[in-house]
Amino acid sequence: MTEDLFESYKNELPAKLISDLKKEISKHKLSSKQIKEIVEKTKKEFEEAKINSGEAIGIITAESFGEPSTQMTLNVFHFAGVAEVNVTLGLPRLIEIFDARKLPSTPSMEIYLKKPYNKDNKKVRKIANQIKETTLKEVVSEFTTNLLKSQVEITFEKEKMRDIGITPKSLITILETSLKGTIVKEKGSTLILKPKTKDYKLNDLYKLKEKAKDVFISGVKKITHVLPVKTDSEYMILCAGSNLKEVLKLDEIDTTRTVTNDLFETQSVLGIEAARQAIITEAQKVIEEQGLNVNIRHIMTVADVMTSRGVIKGITRSGISGEKSSVLARASFETPMKHLVNASLTGEVDYLNSIIENIMLNQPVPIGTGLPDLVAKMKIAKAKK
Amino acid sequence: MEYVYKKVHSITFGLLSPKDIKKMSSAKIVTPELYDKEGYPVDGGLMDIRLGVIDPGLRCKVCGGKLKECTGHFGYIELARPVVHINYAKVILAFLRSTCRECSRLLIPQEKIDEYHQELERLIVKNKLNAWKKKVKEIIEAVKNTKKCPHCEAKQIKVVIDKPTTFLEDDKRLSPIEIRTRFEKIPDVDVELFGLHKDMARPEWMILNILLIPPVTMRPSITLETGERSEDDLTHKLGDIVRINQRLFENINAGAPEIIIEDLWDLLQYHITTYFDNTSTQIPPARHRGGQTLKTLSERIKSKEGRFRHNLAGKRVNFSARTVISPDPKIKFNEVGIPQSVALDLTIPERVTEWNIKLLKELMKRGPKVYPGANYVIRPDGKKKKITEETVEQLIEELECGFIVERHLRDGDVSIFNRQPSLHRMSIMCHKIRILPGRSFRLNPSVCNPYNADFDGDEMNLHIPQTEEARAEAEILMEVQTQMITPKNGLNVIGCVEDAVSGNYLLTKDLNLSREDATTLLLSIGITNIPDISENVTGKEVFSALLPNDFDFIGNSKGCGNSGNCKDCDQWKNKKCVDDSYVLIKKGKLLSGIIDKNTIGEDNGALIRALCANYSEDEAIGILGNIFRLGIATLLKVGFTTKLSDSDLPESIYLKIKELIKESERKVQKSIDLYKENKLDALPSKTLEETLEIKILEILNKVRNQVGEIISEIVSEDNPTIIMIKSGSAANILNLTQMAACVGQQALRGKRIEKGYSDRTLSLFKKKDLSPKARGFIENGYKNGLDPVEFFFGAMTGRDSLMDTALRTPKSGYLYRRLANALQDLKIEYDGTLRDAYKTIIQFGYGDDGLDVSKTENGVINVEKIVKNVMGGKHD
């Protein structure tokens, strides 16, 4: 009965509102007449709360960010909580998002795991270790250059090797492929690196040692730190550094929830709609963390403006503002000479469609109350002779 | 006043051809002299009166207009030798590189040219301007390195630019004459591939052989006190150009050696380059005699003080006033108190009709110096007459219907009030005028929040709209009551503040009044329809007298122990709210609950939002105003002050707190010891040092909270500071803790203080001392006083936060400017979609559901409220 009622309102009320209603109604014992009344009232309120045509919503959105951003802290890093990965927050992060910088100053990822893995602390730790980018020096306790035998000797830590799931054998193959022209041999708990060619200088041996230190042996590249964290119901992994494409390839990962804070990476891996969502969540994260309250509709507007062209465009002179069709609007923002010179060459025409041009010319702006035009039907009186 | 009833449809940009320049000019400039001996502008000089007039009394030779009537006319000078226009140097280079040096054709085979043409045409038709720009760039980029002309097979030589304006072909200098002749031969079809509009721009026009002289009105001279004339920077520069040009002419005619002509030519190029742009880095800027750089054309346009941002996007206005603001809780929210001295100068034009002619005549009689009077009379033919003692009689005589009288402001007039920085639309609101004694603008403290104003010396601006349309728009769209709910998040920005909150808290908590007192209280705030009340009334009943009879409301007070979640509240099961925080209003009667910040405060005043939702704006603000005044009147009656002894603690408690601090210091020491013995377990992905810091910080923050708890347990309910804290009108328990007992840990960048000397904060500590005291823990309270070290640490954090604010303001200001500029033309179309000025759809429905944030409650439709409403406020 109630279901039918809601079904009939499906096209008139947004889904969120209907589900809110259902939830609220289920809390109380109500007669169907009352329910009907509630839904009717909700519909009335919804209709009344709809936005007016001509509303200058762009300015309102800009104001809604501009005003609270004066209250944000400049403190770049976030240390709250006992253990968390440092991320840029506050005003610098907000600027970073709206600028659409190609690389965030602190790339990071939130990795969620699939069902059997996400409950067990040990398994999560193991996966985390496997994801982390590991170089040779991290599993090695000692590097020695043996000048006598002209070779580099490496003593590795078995425990750490086990943590990241690498056997000495696989290590040898990794080293052989990445250090070309080197013979790798195992000798007890040490590895021996020896250049293949006979004529080498001592200097080369030293170089080899340094090179060997930074050989990438396991994990996902660019992921520099991993941190398994317990949330309410499960374990997940926070990491510094971001490489969404590679991480999504892993079997244990819950691909539906794993996210990165790198907007352009999101765009190239998951597409523009995902990038839009990423802008919304990232901006919202900043605003909430600062204890501010900006409605999500404003964030959505900015995100939509930034992504409506199919690629992420920043709110900069080279992004949105620089691509406006009006010469005067562009010139009034930044680098006016450049825009005027180019406009004169191409013979650009400014049709004065937007706000700033009309302000410049002291004309009514086509927005809000300036939007409607009145057309009067006039009976042309015949001129009396 | 002359009105022009026309609208600009569009503006086309383009280059001026020499022909255009001659056509639009009204004078040819031939001499660098400006004035003759009598000080009269020289014919053919730069101040020629054919270019417009800047002296009163002179008439323009072209249009006959006087000063301010004639907007000026252009002139020109013929250059002896052509010169390069600096702003187009890059384009000239591109042309030189990609056209043939023999036949001037574009260095692409004919078939390709046709192909590109079609492609560009297609993009134009599709209106893809940005893609078109990109394609043009591509084409030019591709031609650059062609070695042989596909049309005439001539060998090409690479052209390089020796900045700023010299072009070299194999180290041989290309003179502008050569460049010009080459460019003249380029056919229109080829030019178009460069992205140039065939009618608006020809490449040879970028080499100037004729220079446009701007009108005199654009570069007025100023007369100094000594009677000496000081010319504008542009006139100076143009003088230089004319002088050199004349000399060049003479030398050419006299057949001077080539080298002298070359030198003069270069000098002419330099002057014309700096005339256009005096900031380019490759050439020394032209200077005044004093060494100050000249401000030439580019600098006039550019940057914040340039024409665009300073004069076009923002304009100066008349009928405005600015002065210091001060509070007046007795005036209404939508009123502004202005001093009489301001009212004497600001006027409202009122049209004379048969209904107001008598009044206006009276005002005129009083004249401009006596309030309320009038300053000017405007006759129907537009003549404006000042009312003076001599003219007043005659003007009154003449006054007829249809005249306009500019009368002084009076109570109830419409004004627009503003405080910078105008960060959101509530920074400019419409207030009704109220003439008050004094010399400052007065506003109700409740509207401080939207303006972000305080009274430590803030100044605000007042504007008086001059037309009926402007006044109507201001009243309907901008008046204070229409701005009560912010579109940022749908919460109210206007509410009761300070004493109004404390007053209502005290009144509705447990105040009992006699009938006489209650009536006096209500009458004192202007309530006249006092309901029947018994001999003894509660504060709740008094409060109810302000509410409309059909008003229902359910809410929670700030003091609710269960944060408004009545259903799961233990107390509710006993049908009794112990801290009286269940606010229930039925039929305009406050049945239970304390009124405080949660119901009538700023940002979160649920009651205010309910009022706004159920009643008209005017009614809502009226009721809110009454509540505000009731709060203050209550405090006046019961008496309220805060005092030093508010923060007094009993000796036993004081000792307890000291012991607590000692205890945590011991705990910290224990952790430090553990760390030194290397027994501390590091937290994941943290070093041992970081782990220790985190642990210490945790302990020290905990202790301050514990102290706070102890204090809030022992202080009495009627302690004024506690009343303010509990009602939410001012301060919080932390402030009291800091005053009474312990200021607590000073944090710098989220860490304890560690800067200063190496390994220590101050030289009186031992190196690597990690104890609380040595790292900025302040164990004393403000009242007992800090010791010097503690004071210093307190100053450190204080300075840090000052710096933060100072650095943040410009950053966030720039972010705001960029956002506003990018988003300004977004609007909701009639079909409900969100589009930009060029009708590109950004969202199909605004915010997915089409709701206006300012019409919702914190961004959502409050379903719970509707359900409760239908159930009739019953709690099940």
pLDDT at res. A179: 74
Give the closest of A52, A95, A329 to B852, CB-based: A52
* Domain limits, chain A: 2-48, 134-218, 324-370
- Say which amino acid occupies A372: P
Least-confidence region, from A342-351, B55-64, B271-280: B55-64
**B354: burial class by Cβ within 10 Å (0-12, 13-18, 19+)?**
exposed
Give contacts of A344 with chain B, Cβ < 8 Å.
13-15, 200-201
Q: Do B10 and A371 touch (CB under 8 A)?
A: no
Least-confidence region, from B99-103, B525-529, B682-686, B774-778: B682-686
**B88: burial class by Cβ within 10 Å (0-12, 13-18, 19+)?**
buried
Give the closest of B87, B837, B838 to A337, CB-based: B87
> What are the tens digits of pLDDT across the range B454-468?
999 999 999 999 999
Q: Which residue in chain B has the smallest CA separation from A348? A: B13
Mean pLDDT of B224-250: 86
Mean pLDDT of A303-325: 88
Give the closest of A49, A69, A95 to B851, CB-based: A49
Task: Identify the bridge partners of residue A134 per DSSP, sorted by sequence position.
Answer: A218
Spatial neighbors of B407 by CB under 8 A, at least 6 apart, are B347, B348, B350, B360, B363, B372, B373, B374, B375
Give contacts of A133 with chain B, Cβ < 8 Å.
none
Give contacts of A55 with chain B, Cβ < 8 Å.
827-828, 852
* Cα angle, residue A98 at apex, residues A95 and A102 outer, rounded to 5°: 95
Q: Do B804 and A356 touch (CB under 8 A)?
A: no
**B141: burial class by Cβ within 10 Å (0-12, 13-18, 19+)?**
exposed
Pairing of strands B320-327, B441-443: parallel
B21, B216, B478 from B78: Cα distances, Å: 11, 18, 56
Short-list A59, A62, A61, A12, CA closest to A39: A12
User: Per residue in A313-344, is it b (16+ CB within 10 Å) or e — as a string?
Assistant: bbbbbebbbbebbbbbbbbbbbebbebbbbbb
Report d(CA B130, CA B141) in Å as an integer: 17
Query: Looking at the domain covering A324-370, what would its CATH class be?
Result: mainly alpha
> What are the tens digits of pLDDT across the range B552-584?
888 888 877 766 666 666 666 566 677 788 888
Q: Do B837 and A326 touch (CB under 8 A)?
A: yes
Residue with tokens 């140097």: B89
Alpha helices per DSSP H over B37-156: 89-98, 110-125, 129-143
Give the mutation candidate from B493, B568, B853, B871 for the A interface (greatest A CB count, under 10 A).
Answer: B853
Give contacts of B88 with chain A, Cβ < 8 Å.
341, 345
Over 60: is that where the pLDDT of A237 sits?
yes
What confidence category does residue B474 fall into, taking pLDDT thresholds of 50, 70 and 90?
very high
- For chain A, the C-alpha Rg in angstroms (whole number) is 31
Over 90: is that where the pLDDT of B225 sits?
no
Give the mutation candidate from A40, A61, A363 for the B interface (greatest B CB count, under 10 A).
Answer: A61
pLDDT at res. B559: 79
What confidence category does residue B804 fall into, taking pLDDT thresholds of 50, 70 and 90?
confident
Over 90: is that where the pLDDT of B65 sits?
no
Q: Do A301 and B847 touch (CB under 8 A)?
A: yes
Level-2 CATH architecture, domain A134-218: 2-Layer Sandwich (3.30)
Spatial neighbors of A240 by CB under 8 A, at least 6 apart, are A85, A86, A106, A107, A108, A223, A224, A225
How is residue B491 written in tokens? 């919460």
pLDDT at res. B748: 81
CATH of domain B646-790: 1.10.132.30
> What are the tens digits of pLDDT across the range B504-513?
999 998 889 9
- pTM score of the predicted model: 0.88
Give contacts of B826 with chain A, Cβ < 8 Å.
56-59, 61, 301, 305
Domain B498-638: CATH superfamily, name plus number: RNA polymerase Rpb1, domain 3 (1.10.274.100)
Give the closest of B130, B277, B861 to A323, CB-based: B130
Give contacts of B10 with chain A, Cβ < 8 Å.
349-352
Q: What's the topology of domain B320-483? A: Barwin-like endoglucanases (2.40.40)
Between B757 and B563, the more confident residue is: B757
Show the beta-strand stretches assigned E in B495-634.
512-514, 536-538, 553-556, 582-586, 589-592
Q: Do B750 and A80 touch (CB under 8 A)?
A: yes
Least-confidence region, from A342-346, B301-305, B561-565: B561-565
Q: C-alpha dihedral over B165, B171, B175, B181, to 10 degrees?
A: -110
A59, A326, B300, B809 from B315: Cα distances, Å: 19, 21, 16, 24
Over 70: is that where the pLDDT of B684 sits?
no
Mean pLDDT of B292-312: 86
Over 60: is that where the pLDDT of A385 sits?
no
Q: Do A361 and B848 touch (CB under 8 A)?
A: no
pLDDT at res. B754: 83
> What are the tens digits of pLDDT across the range B97-139?
888 887 888 787 787 778 787 877 777 777 677 777 777 777 7
What confidence category does residue B280 fall into, taking pLDDT thresholds of 50, 70 and 90?
confident
Give contacts of A78 with chain B, Cβ < 8 Å.
750
Give the closest of A79, A85, A343 to B750, CB-based: A79
pLDDT at res. B573: 59
C-alpha distance from B808 to closest chain A C-alpha (Å): 6
**Quick one: which H or E segment has residue B80?**
strand B74-84
Over 70: is that where the pLDDT of A43 sits?
yes
Give the mutation candidate from B863, B864, B875 for the A interface (greatest A CB count, under 10 A).
Answer: B863
Report d(CA A53, CA A31) in Å as an integer: 38
Short-list A282, A240, A256, A261, CA closest to A113: A256
Give the HSE-up count for residue B768: Cα atoms under 13 Å, Cβ half-sphere. 5
pLDDT at res. A77: 54
- pLDDT, chain B, mean: 87
Give the closest of B298, B309, B815 to A66, CB-based: B815
What confidence category does residue B2 fall into, taking pLDDT thresholds of 50, 70 and 90?
low
Report d(CA B325, CA B338) in Å as an integer: 10
Report d(CA A338, CA A352) in Å as an integer: 19
* Domain limits, chain B: 31-72+215-298, 84-211, 320-483, 498-638, 646-790, 827-869
> What are the tens digits of pLDDT across the range B18-41?
988 988 988 888 888 888 888 788
| Inter-chain Cβ pairs, chain A and chain B, closer than 8 A | 333
Task: Identify the bridge partners of residue A109 per DSSP, sorted by sequence position.
Answer: A239, A260
Report d(CA B464, CA B430) in Å as an integer: 10
Report d(CA B396, CA B413) in Å as an integer: 24
pLDDT at res. A76: 54
Give helix B788-823 / helix A90-99 axis angle, nearest 10°. 20
**Quick one: which H or E segment has residue B74?**
strand B74-84
- Say which amino acid occupies B489: N
The full DSSP string for B293-328 is BP--HHHHHSSTTSIIIIIISS---SSEEEEEEEE-
CATH assignment of B31-72+215-298, among 1.10.540.10, 3.40.630.20, 3.40.50.300, 4.10.860.120: 4.10.860.120
* Highest mean pLDDT (candidates A131-140, B159-168, B183-192, B379-388): B379-388
Report d(CA B485, CA A60) in Å as an integer: 13
Over 60: is that where the pLDDT of B230 sits?
yes
pLDDT at res. B342: 94
Give contacts of B815 with chain A, Cβ < 8 Å.
65-66, 69, 91, 94-95, 98
Between A76 and B190, the more confident residue is: B190
Give contacts of A345 with chain B, Cβ < 8 Å.
15, 88, 91, 194-197, 200-201
pLDDT at res. B568: 66
Q: Can you tell me the ipTM of this complex? A: 0.87
A271: left (phi over 0), alpha (psi -120 to 50) or beta: left
Q: How far is CA B98 from the centre of its chain?
A: 47
Hey, is B820 helix, strand or coil?
A: helix
Give the closest of B8, B277, B834 to A352, CB-based: B8
Give the closest of B804, B828, B855 to A57, CB-based: B828
What confidence category does residue A82 fall into, taking pLDDT thresholds of 50, 70 and 90?
very low
Give the closest of B197, B698, B867 to A38, CB-based: B867
Give contacts of B850 with chain A, Cβ < 8 Å.
50-51
Q: Which residue in chain B has the smallest CA separation from A31? A: B871
**B603: burial class by Cβ within 10 Å (0-12, 13-18, 19+)?**
middle
